[in-house]
Structure 1
Amino acid sequence: MSKNTISGQRQMDFVSKFNYIREAGTPSEEKAASLIREELKSFGMESHIEEFSFDTWEITKAELTITEPYHKTYQATGYQRCGSTAKEGTEADFLYVENGDDISLSHAAGKIVMVNEIVRKDLYLRLIKAGVAGFVSISGSPVDEGEDRIPRAAAIPQKVYESLNEKELIQGVGVHYLDAVEMVTEGAKKAQLTLIQEEVKRTSRNVEARIQGTDRADEILTLTAHYDSVPEGPGAYDNMAGAAIIMEVCRYLKEHQPRRTVEFVWFGAEEKGLLGSRHYVKLHQQELNQHRFNMNVDLAGQLVGGNVIGVTADPSVCAMLTYLARETGIGMTTKNQIWGSDSNTFAWKGIPAMTLNRDGFGMHTHYDTVELLSAWSLERSARLLAHIAESLSDIDSMPFPQNIPEEFKKQLDEYFGV
Structure 2
Amino acid sequence: MEYNEICGKRQLEFMKQFDYIREAGTDGEEKAALEIQRELKSFGVDSRLEEFEIDTWRILKAEFTVTEPFEKTYTVAGYGRCGSTPADGIEAPFLYAENGDDINLSQAKGKIVLVNNPVNKDMYKKLVHAGAAAFLSITGTPIDEGPDRLLYTRGVPKMEETPIQGLVIHHRDAMELVEAGACRARLTLLQEPEKAVSHNVIARIQGTEVPDEILTLTAHYDSVPQGPGAYDNMAACAIILELCRYFKAHTPRRTLEFIWFGAEEKGLLGSRNYTEVHKDELKHHCFNMNVDLAGQLVGGTVIGVTGDPSICSMIEYMAHETGIGMVTRNAIWGSDSNTFAWNGVPAMTLNRDGFGMHTRHDIVDYISPWSLERSARLLGHIAESLGNIPVIPFKREIPETFMKELDRYFGR
Structure 1 and Structure 2 fold alike (TM over 0.5): yes
Q: Which amino acid aligns with 2:359?
A: T
Tell me the matched-pair count. 412
Distance of 1:29 and 1:248 partners within structure 2: 20
Give the aligned partner of residue 295 of structure 2. 301
Distance of 1:70 and 1:363 partners within structure 2: 36
Is contact 1:225-1:265 (8 Å) kept? yes
Give the aligned partner of residue 197 of structure 1. 191
Distance of 2:48 and 2:242 partners within structure 1: 18
Is contact 1:3-1:252 (8 Å) kept? no
Is contact 1:339-1:355 (8 Å) kept? yes
Give the aligned partner of residue 239 of structure 2. 245
TM-score in terms of structure 1 length = 0.95
1:180 to 153, 160, 174: 174
Q: Secondary structure at the match of 1:270?
A: coil
Distance of 1:218 and 1:103 partners within structure 2: 54
Distance of 1:400 and 1:108 partners within structure 2: 48
In the TM superposition, residue 139 of structure 1 has moved relative to its aligned partner by 2.3
User: Structure 1 segments of 4 or more deviating over 6 A?
Assistant: none
Give the aligned partner of residue 314 of structure 2. 320
Q: Secondary structure at the match of 1:299?
A: coil
Q: Secondary structure at the match of 1:272?
A: coil
Pairwise CA RMSD: 1.6
Give the aligned partner of residue 366 of structure 1. 360
Give the aligned partner of residue 126 of structure 1. 126
Distance of 1:100 and 1:293 partners within structure 2: 37
Distance of 1:385 and 1:229 partners within structure 2: 23
Q: Which amino acid aligns with 2:100?
A: G
TM-score in terms of structure 2 length = 0.96
Distance of 2:390 and 2:279 partners within structure 1: 25
In the TM superposition, residue 151 of structure 1 has moved relative to its aligned partner by 4.1
Is contact 1:119-1:154 (8 Å) kept? no
The 1:106–1:312 alpha-carbon spacing in structure 2 relative to 1, beyond 3 Å, is closer
In the TM superposition, residue 140 of structure 1 has moved relative to its aligned partner by 2.2
Distance of 1:355 and 1:221 partners within structure 2: 14
Q: Which amino acid aligns with 2:373?
A: E
Cα deviation 1:54-101 (Å, max 9, x = unaligned): 212221221111233333211101112211012222222323333334
Cα deviation 1:267-319 (Å, max 9, x = unaligned): 00111111111111111122211111111111000000111111111111111
Give the aligned partner of residue 12 of structure 1. 12
Is contact 1:118-1:153 (8 Å) kept? no
Distance of 1:416 and 1:189 partners within structure 2: 36
Distance of 1:98 and 1:416 partners within structure 2: 25
Q: Which amino acid aligns with 1:228?
A: D
Which stretch of the first structure deviates more once superposed, 187-196 or 360-369? Answer: 187-196
Distance of 1:338 and 1:281 partners within structure 2: 17
In the TM superposition, residue 183 of structure 1 has moved relative to its aligned partner by 2.1
Q: Secondary structure at the match of 1:393?
A: helix
In the TM superposition, residue 125 of structure 1 has moved relative to its aligned partner by 2.2
Alignment gaps of 5+ in structure 2: none
Which stretch of the first structure deviates more once superposed, 341-350 or 98-107? Answer: 98-107
1:285 to 271, 279, 300: 279
Give the aligned partner of residue 141 of structure 1. 141
Is contact 1:137-1:153 (8 Å) kept? no
Give the aligned partner of residue 334 of structure 1. 328
Identity of paired residues, percent?
Answer: 65
The 1:200–1:119 alpha-carbon spacing in structure 2 relative to 1, beyond 3 Å, is same
**1:77 maps onto 2:77 in alignment:** yes
The 1:316–1:95 alpha-carbon spacing in structure 2 relative to 1, beyond 3 Å, is closer
Give the aligned partner of residue 382 of structure 2. 388
**Equivalent runs, 1:13-92 vs 2, <5 Å:** 13-92=13-92
